[in-house]
Amino acid sequence: MTFTIERSQIEGLVRSAIRGSLAASSAPQSASKTLAGFQPPGWVDGKPNLRVSISARHVHLTDEHVEMLFGAGSKLEPDKDLYQDGFYAAKQTVMVVGPRRRMLPNVRVLGPTRPFSQVELALTDSISLGIDAPVRHSGHVHDTPGCVLVGPAGTVKLDQGVIRAARHVHMNFADADHYGVKNSDKMQLVVKSKECSVIFDDVLVRADEAAKLEVHIDTDEGNACNLEAAMEILLRKDDCGCQKK
């Protein structure tokens, strides 16, 4: 039995944008330098400038898979720069097909290409596809389910690589010093929203010299706390530790 459904309806199920948060959009966008003349990546007025972004479902591809999906000689074409320098949403999208012929159309490819292909879904997406994707940090794809990717020029069968990306925060070492954390620590993200405030535990620190301070959560997490209508956003080292229950 089949349904006829408008393309716009299907596209309505896809959130392709990586959205900046209240914290980012309300912060002054000054390009001023600190007194010493040096300002770490992403800092504004001499201090960290917290941004929280919702990562909609997306795909990372190898060079080889780009050619298999989009044709020999094809390259990813940057469409929109992401907040982290050098990363972009490509013009290309793929269809992600799960078992029992369920599929997600028009899943955005992010660039640049990588040494392995990987599909990052929210749990809601994973359920709709019928894939039991585990919560993993990017690159940790051992023992994860696979899927089929369909592009205009061909298909790719991934034996593994479908994950729900675990929440994390990119930061440079000046940001890490500011918060008193180091790479691989876990932090808390507090989002105050009307009637639906949330404290996210397990926010993994991914510290890198060139990174700008940015928390990545998925659409389920962003929607659970209504991020885009948030009144206050706070990143903190850990919970209070008082263990009151």
245 binds its own copies (CB under 8 A): yes
Name the residue among 44, 42, 106 with its Cα closest to residue 79.
106
- Give CA separation, 102 vs 6, 39, 127, 129, 208, in Å: 17, 48, 10, 5, 38
Q: How far is the CB of 120 from its own copies (least distance, A)?
A: 14
9 binds its own copies (CB under 8 A): yes
Instruction: Provide the 3-class DSSP secondary structure of residue 171.
Output: strand
Q: In this chain, which of 21, 200, 215, 233 binds its own copies, going by CB under 8 A? A: 200
Range 132-151, binding its own copies (CB under 8 A) = 135-137
Give the distance between the most distant pair of CA atoms in the chain. Answer: 68
Residue 234 in tokens? 């706070």
Range 91-110, binding its own copies (CB under 8 A) = 100-103, 105
| Identity of residue 232 | E
From residue 180 to residue 199, the character string flagging contacts with its own copies as x (rule: CB under 8 A) and all else as - is ------------xxxxxxxx
Q: How far is the CB of 19 from its own copies (least distance, A)?
A: 11
DSSP string covering 119-164: EE--HHHHHHHT--PPEE-TT--TT---EEEE-SS-EEEESS-EEE
Q: Identify which range of 19-27, 85-93, 149-157, 232-240 contacts its own copies by CB under 8 A.
A: 232-240
Burial of 53 per CB tally in 10 Å (0-12, 13-18, 19+): buried
Nearer to its own copies, 6 or 209 (CB): 6
Binding-site ranges for its own copies (CB under 8 A): 1-10, 12-13, 15, 100-103, 105, 122-124, 127-130, 135-137, 166-167, 192-202, 218-221, 223-226, 234, 236, 240-242, 244-245
